[in-house]
Amino acid sequence: MAALFQQHAYPAIDAILASRFRQRLHDPDAEDIRADVAVRLIKRIDRLLESGGADPIESFSDYVAVVTFNAFDDFMQRKNPERARLKNRLRYAFENDPRLAIWGDARQLACGLREWHGRAAHEIPATVEHWHARDLADSVVATLREIGFPVSFEALVVLVAAATGITGEPRELPEQTTAQTPSIGDELENSQYLRLLWSEIGELPLRQRIALLLHARDASGESITHLLPATGIATLHELARTLEMSATELAQQWNELPFDDLRIADQLGMQRQQVINLRRSARDRLERRMRAKARPKR
């Protein structure tokens, strides 16, 4: 799984995000989307393995591209709902107005007048400075006629957003209305949190590490530990060292994760309630430590 991601998934994800974030891959938002894509891919691959190959992925590179674009769109919808609504309206216009057409794939959508269908997209000229303020579809048609050739759909979205007063840059997410501390499971899907949390997990007593990592699961019941190698936080060998087992032993158990408490109890030679108590103690310690690290310094 780690090799698949390093060799095939991450290069494609990074190329798409670089184009969307104008090469600013160190942007925290880009890192969050990258982690979100990894989570979605891992869940899809896990379902594929569990089904014995039913509903296979025909082209992994194409699937990665689609998931990345979807994750980016979801991100933009959360951070700039006005722009997301505009994009949806434009997409509807191109798919339903007989004068317009949209073509291509998830990597590069082109759009233009119906008679241009299939032609290569070009950059929007800087001379297009105004927006024809009438019905959206009529305005798009008039603007495309002024441009004179197909353009990328994303570039047109940027043009229309700017012309209608919708900023192209995403706005900050609204503050959470709840003051509850996020659960460890929730935070494990946050790439900015992962590396610091992983270092703190390594400081836990061995039995707490085992009770936490072998059981950790997300809301759908899938192993969160599977995310660590795929997101580049810890290799299989580093996980094995943290659990004080051989990499071979961990690899043999990998597809069976997450373990239930009875199996962990059997492995540790203790009662099920003791395993639950170990994990609760581990979570309490981690939450205290992470809150302390997040507290502003005076």
Last-in-domain residue among 29, 48, 80: 80
Q: Kindly give the interhelix angle for 60-79 and 10-20, rounded to the nearest 10 degrees.
A: 40
Token code pair at residue 292: 């302390």
Asked if residue 173 belongs to a domain, the reply is: no
Residues 34 and 108 in one domain: no
Confidence of residue 221 (pLDDT cuts 50, 70, 90): low
Average pLDDT over residues 273-290: 89
How many domains in the chain? 3
Residues 201, 238 within the same domain: yes
Cα–Cα separations (whole angstroms), residue 181 to 184, 187, 200, 283: 9, 10, 17, 12
Provide the token pair at 49. Answer: 């393995």
Classify residue 127: in a domain, yes or no.
Answer: yes
- Using the 3D structure, point to which of 23, 46, 80 is the last residue of a domain: 80
Could you tell me if 210 and 256 lie in one domain? yes
- 224 lies in a domain? yes
**pLDDT at position 189 over 80:** no
pLDDT tens for 125-160 read 765 555 666 678 888 898 888 888 999 888 888 888
- What's residue 253's pLDDT? 83
pLDDT at residue 295, rounded to an integer: 56
Mean residue pLDDT across the chain: 78
| Domain annotation covers residue 243 | yes
Q: Which of 14-18, 88-92, 228-232, 275-279 has the highest mean pLDDT?
A: 275-279
Which range (142-156, 171-185, 259-273) has the least confidence?
171-185
Residues 277 and 193 in one domain: yes
Q: Does residue 175 register a pLDDT over 50?
A: no
Q: Average of pLDDT values for 5-24?
A: 78
Are 54 and 134 part of one and the same domain?
no
**Among 112-121, 153-162, 190-199, whose mean pLDDT is lowest?**
190-199
Contacts 24+ apart (CB under 8 A), 43-46: 43/220, 43/222, 45/1, 46/222, 46/226
Residue 267 within a domain: yes
Q: Are residues 206 and 229 in the same domain?
A: yes
What token pair was written down for 15?
């190329």
- Verify that 105 and 136 share a domain, yes or no: yes
What is the model's pLDDT at position 127?
Answer: 57
> What pTM was estimated for this model as a whole?
0.43
Burial (CB count <10 Å: 0-12, 13-18, 19+), residue 67 = buried
Q: How confident is the model at residue 171 (pLDDT cuts 50, 70, 90)?
A: very low
Tell me how long the chain is: 298
Please check whether residues 40 and 87 belong to one and the same domain: no
Residues 130 and 48 in one domain: no
Distance CA 105, CA 92 (A): 16
- Does residue 88 have a pLDDT over 70? yes
Give the mean model confidence (pLDDT) for residues 98-116.
86
153 shares its domain with 195: no
Kindly state whether residues 188 and 289 are assigned to the same domain. yes
Strand partners, 112: 101
- What range does the domain containing 136 cover? 83-163
**Has residue 239 got a pLDDT over 80?**
yes
More reliable by pLDDT, 19 or 111: 111
pLDDT at 278 over 90: yes
Q: Which residues pair with 104 in a beta bridge?
A: 109
Query: Where a domain ends, among 41, 63, 80?
Result: 80
Q: Is 92 inside any structural domain?
A: yes
Residue 30 domain-assigned (yes or no): yes
Max mean pLDDT range (99-113, 161-175, 219-233): 99-113
Same domain membership, residue 68 and residue 7? yes
Residue 176 forms part of a structural domain: no
Task: Provide the pLDDT for residue 62.
Answer: 80
Task: State percent of the chain over pLDDT 90.
Answer: 16
| CA 93 – CA 20 distance, rounded (Å) | 23
